[in-house]
Structure 1
């Protein structure tokens, strides 16, 4: 940890009428935070890593932008309740940054809220703070609250009398202003570009339990209701305008529900002109804090409680709102599972392209909108598949409203989930399109943890649900089936319990089949069966690459399963290991690597080559130099002596892997389409 002596200012109350300038090293500051005595928030002091002139303004406040003389550090505030202090600490440790994370009075283990204090290598002009705060925000994945960018914003410190309190200093030795990635990583307020105005509100940092006196800190400005609405929709001071408008509405006797309706309508204009982040300030808990504060000041009578009941006779029955008619509802979570190579990603991409372009999904109407595809791997393959889809369906270019991630994200980690949310938010601001669908392909590639742990899966589901709620989008999770596909998706049943729809993707008879096993609020739709159609793609090098698309063959009847091939014990093991190594997106592996894996699985070394030659002779595998891939004759397999109805573990597992080399290739195209799944 860094040891430079820094100055900071200590305010004894929120109004900033009295201040003390102190000096300390950063380790000593961390010790002070650890040893601070318990106190209520209203009695807690405030801290600012900066120096002030000490001259009061007309209101007697000594803490305002023009009074600042230098900044010695940067503070950040987080109150969304998703990212834990430990997650934030881990991110800062990764960059070797000197910092300390301190929980706030409103922090709970279930709804984490914390502050971050970061020292600087030297004193800076106050005008430098926005750039430094943006760098800190970028290091944390863009999750800091807007108050973190307010120049003279000061922050409560203190141990709550009851509840959890944490002080987590990093071991890093790099000052924020000497961090090489400061500018490259910067995420400015509202995701804006460098140099965007940060705005300045002379208020205390936002928490769920803001003081009712907050309203007095934003002086009421004269103006009609129409002028206040115009200022809210078009002005820079969204928060201040919101407070004044709430005060007007409460004073006129409006109840909470009416105020929320007014702000919901205004939020659309604010989102369009000022960005989604500012629009969010007009809704939810932030708006309720303003309403409660106005009522606490006596502007009106207390409105409806946040939690209430409604009489059944007053409940209305809403029809199902379909994103993909009969198959996917809006604002829900669905899982699409199957064994490796069944065509899950093919189906997910096909559906994504349909939604992104407004193309009916094989005869089913869709609602067009942006699709955000979190891809775990195989980006070149995705590009080819999307290009083939566009070419087959008559589009001159790739779908403009389809966005594919550059890398996977561990969505068990709340910090990463918020990073994904911010990446989506920045594209929403830049393009003006709102997400309809978020695809996670696959869960395994975006999940670091134990899939059999209800706790780990619960965290994953909670973070994914946050993405759904944020935009009321539909989330599709592409996942693997277990060893017994009849039991559904792999891992903890917590996933199945959380989703609204569950689909299995299988390969009976050589095609691809989509089967619904769960629809929470509707009847299960008919199965959809597809064949693979080859699509030649002209590359820039004038070479022709073959991809494929799905063509509907039958939307009601199951395909007839093919007869499984009977194999011996070692043949089943060796082939099964190869299929597991290939996964969804790998076309071949080295024979040497395959042999090593088989020997580790206790296949005798002398038997491996015998089994390999047998499998190659039966066209179950294909040897190409030093590499091996699955052959065109590789349907479902079963050990010798077992019935072909999938009653043994090996049979069931192999029936889930009928995805490899199929017979559905047009004679004019010299390729095996199933290689592309």
Structure 2
């Protein structure tokens, strides 16, 4: 079914994502406890722990160990690589439980209640009578070793303080496998958000001693000091929290009452307004002690030594757990509804009786009916379907306005585009920016590929944004009459002048307008837009846009070999790993009055695998890779790893720090990242650069 403009969850960015357990992460293994050598593995958690039972040994000491982290090559005096100072980055948290009381299924239930992704697997000595297990929690991205305790505290809090204290040791590694003759290891996998994204768990995080963890108090305090006090917003949040929950320790009790009081005191700078809110909320509980007692406690929050790490953020996070939505979220939904209503009102072709005759769209389907539903069909197979709204975006000059007509022209002719089959249909290309130039590009396409009467360029569109827009009414009229299967709006910025791109209301109007164009003929609509300066994998503007899209194709500027590469950052019709690459070619259209050639640019597709893979490197990674070119290489093209690392540390291009240990750590991180990206391979003390890919230097250190 096509996406409808009043499906607000979709417009607000809800989308399905892969499980954290299926994302590739870095895992380091050691053959024994001496850890004099390491093996770096890139695997998903699901696949890695799935192989635990196949590892067997006579005793636990003969099993290998693993850690979800990247290690450097700095050994201790005994030659061990497994120590805290040698950890470069953390990719996940592995924690231990050996008290023998909580079963794996009980632990899984706690993780599920906390909403976090954790895999539980029995340790080599695990049994049903004496449960002992590991908790494996992947992170969404690599974090500093300094974050290990913070992440572990979140997990410990979610599991009720059950973790063994050694779980907090940064370099602690764990045996994996089973003993000879032992049964298959028990495994339970709980899906949820990655641990580093579960910020709400900070409120209940527990340290290695089982007490509330305060390692992030300073950060939290700094964050919350920046939260402005708005009485109406605070009152709205308080209204969502039942005051009776402060009467019972099982639902928060006195701690809840105190935390909310401190949040309001520090958030309002101890104002009477803040007190009035707390006092009014407290009166709704059975244990309210009167205003005098309330005032005494309120003043105590400001005494020297009082806990100051709690601010308004605590109030809002607590309210969110009870389903509270900030007023701005409700306003955003209202703005989208209003935008859609405005568009419906301005359509002069709509039948007034149509709304009365329109059937209710709410339906429920059983499995058999789901199986009988027809497929969505396609316009470009694996990329866009009828009724979709998509976006092609990139930096200026990346080729957005070249690949867009190229794909549209392929649909008009019914021929494949980048190896994807197309279904022939009428294509309307709204050239709101540089219509003259677009006509020249279409002339070039006609010369190169032949005529395509089903491809139409439209000009004269200057404003699709304003309420009551005549341009939008006229465009919808043409869509009704011509019944296209595909519509391009090039560019979003020119077609929606004055748009506040970072506004939910503004982007809500853009999406509502786009969806209104899909209705008459079930056409797909493609918005041509810009990306962010940082080239993040989302189009420029409010996140509502990306959340509402069915597909998004990001283009990167051409590399040193002249190749422009596209990456699908979102695709509801297929995989995102499709290789889309092209070179910018030209076609001569004729000659001018002076006899000079008139040319226009167009896309020259590259077949799958013909273009070198594009890999982005940070400045430190690029500098480390450049050092390889200055070293003596063997006949197989490899260089000495030790000499390479020394050149990177001493050369100051990878890190300009005056501290040698600091430079070494930066080099270790750069090397580990280069290995992870496939830019180099390290084997038997030799470094092998990968010269088959295209490497782009990033201007900013990530």
Q: Compare relative contact order (CA 8 Å, sep 6+) and give the higher one, 1 or 2.
A: 2
- Give the TM-score normalised by structure 2: 0.37
